[in-house]
Homo-oligomer: A and B are copies of this chain.
Amino acid sequence: MSIRVAVLGAAGRMGSTTVAAVHAASDLELVAELEADGDVAGLAGVADVAIDFTVPQATEANVHALLDAGVHAVVGTTGWDAAALDRVRAHASTRPDVGVLIAPNFALSAVLAMRFAAVAARYFASAEVVEMHHPRKLDAPSGTAVHTAQGIAAARTGAGLGTMADATSTALPGARGADVDGVNVHSLRLEGLVAHEQIFLSNPGELLTIRTDSFDRASFMPGVLLAVREVVAHPGLSVGLETFLGL
């Protein structure tokens, strides 16, 4: 029996890619394509899972409406703060039959890389992060690289590791990158690239490199479909795709 799926924000870039991916998945049935402010309540009994790729202004209201309608939610829209997450968590506690996943990143390789870096960090003397994106990106470092560095830093602290060795005494400004909780992060901007990250972890005599390359939006679809299939078995609010990966 296939899972009945609705897509909210179906006309947008991510939404239309999602519509195509749901169509192509033999175990999923696309039952509705809505605009950002579509009739979510009407999905009750019609859709099992709704995927929200709308806009920050609409997504929280959509999730509350989906909870009321008894429809599981997979949310890729950004803009969630702690207060909004708390409101959803509270609401979800009243609907133990419904699951909500809110995830900033559905690229499996990026999510896995971040998790692997955090797991490995306690075993290495040094760690640095290099991210590479197209030159139209406005912020540096990327959110993914910042999260990766924060995960490494937290793991090092948890393992009782101190500051990393660095004897640099003469440097051009910026040469050693940005400091994110004591982990150096470097941002490259290169025409033609999309979203790429290299994580370096080293000890005397060895180097572990974890690299992710995202070439286009299609890279998010395996993660979105995995979330659709898993959310029905995860009641309550889950934050981050890694919570569904059994890592």
Contacts and interface: CB of A to CB of B under 8 A. Distances in A.
Interface of A: 107-110, 112-113, 116, 119-120, 123-126, 128, 130, 132, 135-141, 164-180, 184-194, 200-222, 226, 245, 247
B185 A226 contact: no
B212 A215 contact: no
Nearest to A108: B123
B170 A191 contact: no
- State the majority secondary structure of interface residues on A: mixed
A210 B187 CA distance: 18
Contact of A123 (B141, B172, B226): B226
Contact of A175 (B177, B207, B208, B212): B177
A216 to B, nearest CB: 5
Nearest to A189: B166
B108 A203 contact: yes
A219 B206 contact: yes
A205 B170 CA distance: 27
A128 B190 contact: yes
Sorted nearest first, the 4 A-B pairs with minimum C-beta distance are: A205-B219, A205-B218, A206-B219, A172-B178
Contacts of A218: 192, 204-206
6 contacts: A125-B191, A125-B192, A135-B167, A139-B168, A175-B185, A177-B177
Given A167-B138, A209-B210, A172 B200 contact: no
A193 B179 CA distance: 21
Contacts of A173: 174, 178
A81 B213 CA distance: 38
